[in-house]
Amino acid sequence: MKIKVFNEKCTGCGLCENICSLSHLGFVDRNCSAIKVKLDDLGESIHHPFLCRQCKNMKCLDGEDIIGDKIAGERQKFIWEQMDRVEKCPFNGCFGYNGKVYHCNLCEGEPQCVKVCTHGALQISE
């Protein structure tokens, strides 16, 4: 499963960012969210939500001794401690804040951001 993004449908409301930290951590703080919406209020007003693409080949893990089942374990984590993964991800798919990296773990199969995005900018794709 992955979450597909449709930029043209995004209103920039920020609900996805808020529900992400709230559902995982119990408080609202966009800095602690695994989805970030880049707002474009001055250009074409096409906002751009960024989040993990759930790559088969996780470039974010390059250089680490992680193989086999351990890879699946990393996928399931919402918080990573390895700050360099932010730079290694080519897709701006995980986000560092205060020494922690926030990464989409798909909410155990029920992504909360997809539920709150009634505009259809975030959709589940198998």
Q: What angle do CA 17, 22, 23 make, to 5 degrees?
A: 105
Nearer to ligand SF4, 9 or 25 (CB): 9
The binder of ligand SF4 chosen from 11, 31, 45, 76 (CB under 6 A): 11
34 is an interface residue for ligand SF4 by CB under 6 A: no
Residue closer to ligand SF4, measured from CB, 27 or 111: 111
Is residue 117 part of the contact set for ligand SF4 (CB under 6 A)? yes
> Which are the contacts of 70, defined by CB distance < 8 A and separation ≥ 6?
none
Please give the C-alpha separations between residue 61 and each of 24, 37, 55, 69, 85, in angstroms, as whole numbers.
Answer: 22, 24, 11, 14, 7
Give the tokens for residue 90.
């080519």
**Binding of ligand SF4 at residue 8 (CB under 6 A)?**
no
Instruction: Check residue 39 for interaction with ligand SF4 (CB under 6 A).
Output: no
